[in-house]
Structure 1
Amino acid sequence: MAVVLPFESAPEASIESLVRLVQPDMERVNATILSRTGSDVTKIPEVANHLISSGGKRLRPMLVLATAQMCGYQGDAQTKIAAAVEFLHTATLLHDDVVDESELRRGKATARMLWGNEMSVLVGDFLLGQSMRMMVEVGSLRCMEILSTAAAVIAEGEVMQLAAAKNTETTEDAYLAVIRSKTAELFAAAAEFGPVLAGRPKAEEAACRSYGTNLGIAFQLVDDALDYGGRAAELGKNVGDDFREGKITLPVVLAFRRGNDAERAFWRKALEQGEADDAALETAVGLMHKHRAIEDTCERAKHYGAIATDALGLFPASPVKRALADAVAFAISRAH
């Protein structure tokens, strides 16, 4: 049932150079994350650390650190900001898993499966509060504005996705609007902090924001493709979870639009009426393959990845600039 995803990115694409360049700062971020999950309420660190320590790449906080380095920032505010970004991201994951009724996250049982929906939501709220507390400690109104705006936009994206769930009439433009808000906004915010902290010109702020936005879109589109053409070990969740949950992602949009009346009837039955068993998933993947829906989702991801890479052109050559470009190649190459 798997589909070979057609990326031409080099198989060796990785974020190792990025990880290496930000490692000293990232150690301080990790220490901050551990200290800020502490609470006299024992369940809070237990639930929070279940997800925080579950093996995520922490790409978003690394973007904070890398863009600060690229822009020549010399202070230490990036540590708390990067931790705040990771807390906001973790909070959205805890909330997402409740909304989506997800059973797996990064290959482990979700917090809601272990502690229940109520505990997951409340610990997510705790992390949001800690995130904002750290931003207040940083003392930059502009940085606070970036992160608080991101939190609001992400919530809007979640509501937009919920409204579009099971709606097979969703257009590509409408879906892209969802992922711009739900996924790309936090990438954009993370990348924008560097030039803001360094007091760089508005053009550099805009360039970093463009990099983050388009990297985030590419990242999500690859995830969309992997849900139908990947393996559970790569995804950290069950293959076809989006399909079973009735989520309208880009491969579905493309297959639905390109299909005939009988095929569109299948999509409505599977997604709108919830008849999405394993046999239906196999049919869905077959239709996507027939109409190049997965392949073209990959092509869209490459397009946005190219925009992200081009956005770095404003900055002089440096190891960290090259590492940020490598991060784009890595995001794309996950579909191999």
Structure 2
Amino acid sequence: MGMNENVSKPLDRLAAELAGDMEAVNALIRERMASRHAPRIPEVTAHLVEAGGKRLRPMLVLAAARLLGYPGPYHIHLAATVEFIHTATLLHDDVVDESRQRRGRPTANLLWDNKSSVLVGDYLFARAFQLMVEPGKLRILDILANASATIAEGEVLQLTAAQDLATDEQIYLQVVRGKTAALFSAATESGAVLADATPEQVQALFDYGDALGIAFQIVDDILDYGGMTETIGKNVGDDFRERKLTLPVIKAVAAASAEERAFWQRTIEKGDQREGDLEQALALLARHGALAAARGDALDWVARARTALAVLPPHPIRDQLSDLADFVVARVA
């Protein structure tokens, strides 16, 4: 199981549809990440922001707003807000995880230092809060502030749950909802609220973003064991080396023999990893069909995402969001 390199068209179509708005978003990001007094801030931010990310989260804001007929201009501000929150969390995550590669490039904490990454991440959070109040809608501030808190909560939960073999799929889902899905759902929900959508439409776009984010993270966790470094932008097996108990491993542990469980206890719980352990982990995942089972779960979440869109008005954007949900799981073949 690995990356399917021929499935980028849905994301490319959405990007083309939103290209004009995304140019405005990128211009606003460059403007707001500037600092008159601390030149390191734009240096560190630019390293990550301009590293070629897909900008999926800000596109979800723009798509939700356009789908429901919002004429502008504050969808640009919200899209930039979401990207700043995302970038800030990446800077912090790389420090916590001691990561050395992000989007195929050395991490900011490796090129500069941990202090710079943490403080620049804090600066971006502050910029995000400045941006999110500009539309003048308290409900949007509530959505994005809650998402920021939920993201931090999910990361803290992962600190204790990720290396504990007692962690089950329910706890994993709670972590994923925090660290990934919260910002997806906040992006789509805030775009709907900005457009003065009906409560049913707001709920539908929240549900879509939530399900899409969960599927997205499950697939990322699969790719960590089955992707290629040049296509996933990080080193294959990083989650194993960082002792993260992701869904494929949780499934393998649930089906493990006593001997296999001892292997997971040594490598994940105790952190005693040796030459050949990654290959052994891959063999155990294959033995129990853990990657395929995790992909099945991701497909279930994609189905939920597509179902949520059914209550929304017919629109080319709605079709593209449906295709995007399929794309998320099509990244693994």
Most deviating of 121-130 and 74-83 = 74-83
Partner of 2:130: 133
CA pair 36-270 structure 1, distance change in 2 beyond 3 A: same
Deviations 1:213-271 (CA, angstroms, capped at 9, x unpaired): 00000000000100111111121110000000010100110000101000000000111
Separation in structure 2 between the aligned mates of residue 233 and residue 176 of structure 1, nearest angstrom = 28
Partner of 1:39: 35
Summarize the alignment of residues 18-97 of structure 1 with structure 2, pairs less than 5 Å apart: 18-40=14-36, 41-97=38-94
In the TM superposition, residue 126 of structure 1 has moved relative to its aligned partner by: 0.3
Report the residue type matching 1:32 in the other structure.
Answer: L
SS at match of 2:308: helix
Partner of 2:235: 238
Separation in structure 2 between the aligned mates of residue 51 and residue 12 of structure 1, nearest angstrom = 21
Give the count of matched residue pairs: 332
8 A Cα contact 1:305 1:328, kept in partner: yes
8 A Cα contact 1:13 1:326, kept in partner: no
Separation in structure 2 between the aligned mates of residue 33 and residue 278 of structure 1, nearest angstrom = 44
Report the residue type matching 1:54 in the other structure.
Answer: A
Does structure 1 residue 269 correspond to structure 2 residue 263? no
In the TM superposition, residue 12 of structure 1 has moved relative to its aligned partner by: 6.2
Most deviating of 165-174 and 24-33 = 165-174
Aligned pair partner of 1:162 in 159, 169, 173: 159
In the TM superposition, residue 182 of structure 1 has moved relative to its aligned partner by: 0.9
Most deviating of 226-235 and 93-102 = 226-235
Separation in structure 1 between the aligned mates of residue 22 and residue 8 of structure 2, nearest angstrom = 23
Separation in structure 2 between the aligned mates of residue 11 and residue 261 of structure 1, nearest angstrom = 40
- Structure 2: state its 5+ residue gaps: none
SS at match of 2:134: helix
Partner of 2:217: 220
8 A Cα contact 2:222 2:248, kept in partner: yes
8 A Cα contact 1:185 1:216, kept in partner: yes
In the TM superposition, residue 275 of structure 1 has moved relative to its aligned partner by: 2.4
- Structure 1: state its 5+ residue gaps: none
Instruction: Give percent identity, aligned residues only.
Output: 48
Does structure 1 residue 296 correspond to structure 2 residue 297? no
TM-score by length of 2: 0.97
8 A Cα contact 2:2 2:228, kept in partner: no
8 A Cα contact 2:204 2:309, kept in partner: yes
Summarize the alignment of residues 169-188 of structure 1 with structure 2, pairs less than 5 Å apart: 169-188=166-185
Partner of 1:205: 202
Partner of 2:115: 118
Partner of 1:305: 302
Does structure 1 residue 108 correspond to structure 2 residue 144? no
8 A Cα contact 1:61 1:190, kept in partner: yes
8 A Cα contact 1:243 1:276, kept in partner: no
Partner of 1:15: 11
In the TM superposition, residue 188 of structure 1 has moved relative to its aligned partner by: 0.2
Give me the CA root mean square deviation: 1.4
CA pair 108-76 structure 1, distance change in 2 beyond 3 A: same
